[in-house]
A and B are shown apart, each in its own frame.
Chain A
Amino acid sequence: MIRLEAVSVTYPGQASPTLRDVDVSVAEGELCLVVGPTGAGKSTLLRAVSGLVPHFTGGTVHGRVVVDGRDTRDHRPRDLADVVGVVQQDPARGFVTETVEEELAYAMEQLGLPSDAMRARMEEVLDLLGLVTLRHRALRDLSGGEQQRVAIGAVLTAHPRVLVLDEPTSALDPAAADDVLAALTRLVHDHGMTVLLAEHRLERVVQYADRVLAVGPDGSVAEGAAGELVVRVAGGPPLVELAALAGWDPVPLSVRDARRRVAPLRARLAASEPPLPHVPRAATLLSAHDVHVRYPGTHAVRGVGLELAAGQVTAVMGRNGAGKSSLLWAVAGAAPRAAGTVLVAGRREAPAPADPAVLDPREARRRVALVPQDPGDLLYLGSVAAELAASDAQADAAPGTTAALFAGFAGAVPAAAHPRDLSEGQRLGLALAVQLAAGPPVLVLDEPTRGLDYAAKRVLARLLAEHARAGGSVLLSSHDVEFVAQCADRVVVLADGSVVSDAPAREVLVASPTFAPQVAKVLHPLPLLTVDEVRDALAVTG
């Protein structure tokens, strides 16, 4: 169905090709997963298949890309529209119209389908993706998961043979992500659709994949069965690490497979002591009482109280639209709250506790710093070096402070690079360095793991732990259960703007059907969350 023959892609102004000598083919009806570190060229591979590379992005392509018999050399993306359906990473950015039905009809209108065929396909797709109840709704009012399903539906109405998706679940809560993946597997199994899917969070998708294409940092692409290849990807999903620890071969790819083989491991672990609960220090750095946030038409946060203690990492979880971001911004004093009080502890020079919303912004950021969902928002200068220098000046820090922090997270990055050209992980690192330069004890991160690969997430988790150990406190929101299991001491679950549970991470995560990490699901009922904990427990029992 998809054939790439000796394909190399070089973007203008770049010395080395982004993809190098790629020779792969994907058969009809396969669900093929594209993996690799951030910035390795996964998106380029997907765009080459849809014809966007080179017709839309520019660049030089050597070799041949053939999709369902059509060569992308002489077929523009629009000429492939009835063969390849493309779903972008952020579905809202690809919406052309206002309502669900208009959006689904758009591709059919462009193809010039007759009216009765359009009506028939419309109903088919609405049923297939469970969008019937949403058909007249405005696109902007939909939740993230609904938007993603509409984006998939909007390309399905053209009856493509191939579906290409770039990280379709990265912005979704676990339940919405499951919905989207269920819809995709149904398309593959029942309708013979060929799916090419790029994803960072392998634990979610690898069990559904027939095959894996691994894009290396040098642009080469290896192909293989899911079980063999995922093992080689640096720092794979928790199940793969657990398998390596327990010596399971072949590697189980789903929780179900792992649970069938877990009995001996669980018996060994049952003898070990459960890990000690984390005891936070007494000092409270930030306390919020009865916080309300309202927008026109919505009451986003309804009377939430929160105490952030020194030495603690707190994660806020919940569905898309549960009020997590609103709560974080209100607690950091960076967005208006309708009611409630927030007090953040003072520092040596200004010891009185104060409300960060009324403090001068420059004083506020010395006490509590927030990194927004898109860390790029914080960066506005033309080069990394300029950002680092400006940050030192704005934070009244010694020259080089921000640079030292940044080097700690991201390693060596060319100082002349434009912040927009950095990888997701490096950009987050830069934004974090800028915010930490003022030395705030309370660090708030809104959805920091979006688009990060396993290596970058591990660095981030280490960093947050160090910040907490140094007497700071971290508050973050995340959909990534594995990341939360790795770094959080305490989990607050929000639903509809109110706190549903607020307890030590272990209690919340182990018991929850949606938020339990893979290790907890496999080892149930043992209260272990991460592979590291399993490793420690095994070391104790021997």
Chain B
Amino acid sequence: MHPAAWWAWALGIVVLAGRTGSATVLTLLALTALAVLLLARRRGGPAPGAYLTLALAVVVVRLVFHVLVGVPGGGTVIVDLPTLEVSWAPGLSLLGPITTGGLLSAVIGGLRLAVMVLAIGAAATAAPPTRLLPLLPPALHHLATAVVIAVAVAPSLSAAAGATRRARRLRGLPTRGVRAVAGTALPVLADALDRSLALAASMDTRGYARLLAPRDRRVTPLLLGSLVALGLGTYGLLTGDLRYGLPGLAVAVLLGAVAAGLAGRGPRRTQYRPARWRPPDLLLACVGALLALGATAGVPGGALAAAAVLGAVVGSVREPGARYREALA
């Protein structure tokens, strides 16, 4: 699949989850995203543990907060906890009766965030963010490189931190507390610096940045303008305010295209196996756009959720012959 297609689908789900208030739709979306996540993991994606934990934690934290400080909603009282007034903070009361209505709205609030986490997690597992980077216009080449290096160094940095902590234990030194952190920080930073230098040397000797043309001065302001418009447009789309939403996005695309055109002149690096848009990819991306637009325009959530499921199925089913080609490889 084209990596951008999965991200379009996931962003569509994020918008829909932000707009819908139906527990059924949210549950359906959560299950769909979870299925995509687990399937992508089975096909060799990175471990999804962090997303699952985060999604679960969001729901649990939301519930705990509701019980602790939540405003009781309508409906039947399930447990009638005593209300504790906090003397030093007037207006704040702890605990209090728990009702079905309040509990449901808390679950929906938590579920909404969980769906967003799972959808992004599914996209990141099916199409790792690094695979999106080659799609960026040459104007963003340096940014893309910085992201690639950060992504590559982060796991090794945590490995270095682990090694240093274990080594402290070997010397019989404490591994917790402020002094331990101070003791590990320096070796870990030194190691991170070493790794970055080794990586930079490797990139340099392999010809990185050899073909970059000197940069056009007009590119940076154009890009900044594009980013601001993109922010406004996304905000508009998420809040349902179409006066900002659509024009903002249109301006962002226009400015971005001009900037990319200016920056992309001159010799450039090429790409091995560029990602291609084939019919299933287009369909998946269209589903994403449909979800976002439909949710903003007030199309019923059930129909949109069905579209999301359809997109997930299209994206996850292998095109005929893929298995055969993989077997050959």
Residues of A within 8 A of B (CB): 50-52, 55-56, 76-82, 84-86, 88, 90, 92-98, 101-102, 105-115, 118-119, 122, 135-136, 138, 140, 154-155, 158, 296, 329, 332, 334-335, 360-362, 364-365, 369-370, 372, 374, 376-380, 391, 394-395, 420, 434-435, 438
Contacts and interface: CB of A to CB of B under 8 A. Distances in A.
Nearest to B173: A394
B53 interface: no
Contact of B183 (A158, A334, A370, A380): A380
A443 to B, nearest CB: 12
Contacts of B203: 96
Contacts of A90: 198
Contact of B206 (A81, A101, A369, A434): A81
Contacts of B164: 377, 380
Given A78-B210, A79-B210, A372-B163, A115 B271 contact: yes
Given A81-B205, A96-B202, A118 B270 contact: yes
A140 B156 CA distance: 10
Nearest to A102: B272
B272 A108 contact: yes
A335 B169 CA distance: 10
A394 B171 contact: yes
B204 A77 contact: yes
Q: What DSSP secondary structure best describes chain B's contact surface?
A: helix
B186 interface: yes
Contacts of B269: 109-112
Nearest to A114: B270
Contact of B172 (A52, A135, A140, A438): A438
Contacts of A78: 204-210
A97 to B, nearest CB: 7
6 contacts: A78-B205, A81-B210, A85-B205, A96-B199, A109-B269, A380-B187
A110 B206 contact: yes
Contacts of A106: 206
A78 B206 CA distance: 6
Interface residues of B, number: 49
B152 interface: yes
B187 A105 contact: no
B271 A56 contact: no
Contact of A88 (B172, B198, B268): B198
Given A52-B201, A78-B207, A335 B166 contact: yes
Contacts of A105: 272-273
Nearest to A437: B171
Contact of A98 (B130, B186, B200): B130
B199 A93 contact: yes
Interface string B174-216: 0000000001101100100011001111111111111100000
A185 to B, nearest CB: 23
Given A79-B210, A154-B206, A376-B187, 18 more contacts: A78-B208, A78-B210, A86-B206, A88-B202, A90-B198, A93-B202, A95-B202, A96-B148, A96-B203, A97-B130, A111-B269, A112-B270, A138-B44, A296-B47, A361-B172, A377-B164, A377-B167, A435-B170
Nearest to B165: A377
Contacts, number: 161
Shortest beta-carbon contacts, A-B, top 4 = A81-B207, A94-B202, A105-B272, A110-B207
Nearest to A380: B187
A51 B207 CA distance: 12
B166 A372 contact: yes
Contacts of A86: 201-202, 205-206
Contacts of A391: 171
A56 B148 contact: no
B329 interface: yes
A394 B174 CA distance: 11
B82 interface: no
B267 interface: yes
Given A378-B167, A380-B164, A365 B172 contact: yes
A361 B195 CA distance: 30
Contacts of B208: 78, 110
A136 B156 CA distance: 21
A317 B65 CA distance: 55
Nearest to A375: B167
B128 to A, nearest CB: 7
Contacts of B171: 361, 365, 378, 391, 394, 434-435
B288 to A, nearest CB: 24
A94 B274 CA distance: 23
Contact of A109 (B198, B200, B270, B329): B270
Contacts of B271: 109, 115
Given A52-B201, A118-B272, A380-B183, A107 B207 contact: yes
A329 B166 CA distance: 10
Contacts of A372: 163, 166-167, 170
Which residue, B130, B152, B187, B270, has most C-beta atoms of chain A within 10 A? Answer: B270
Contacts of B205: 50-52, 77-78, 80-81, 84-86, 155
A136 B208 CA distance: 23
A33 B148 CA distance: 35
A1 B306 CA distance: 66
A56 B204 contact: yes
Contacts of A379: 187
Interface string B3-39: 0000000000000000000000000000000000000
B210 A365 contact: no
A94 B211 contact: no
Contacts of A332: 170
B29 to A, nearest CB: 28
B201 A56 contact: yes
A198 to B, nearest CB: 15
Given A115-B270, A335-B166, A95 B207 contact: no
A377 B188 CA distance: 9
A155 B206 contact: yes
A156 to B, nearest CB: 11
Contacts of A108: 270, 272
Nearest to A132: B329
Interface string B250-285: 000000000000000001111111100000000000
B127 to A, nearest CB: 12
A362 B155 CA distance: 30
Interface in B207-231: 207-211
A95 B152 contact: yes
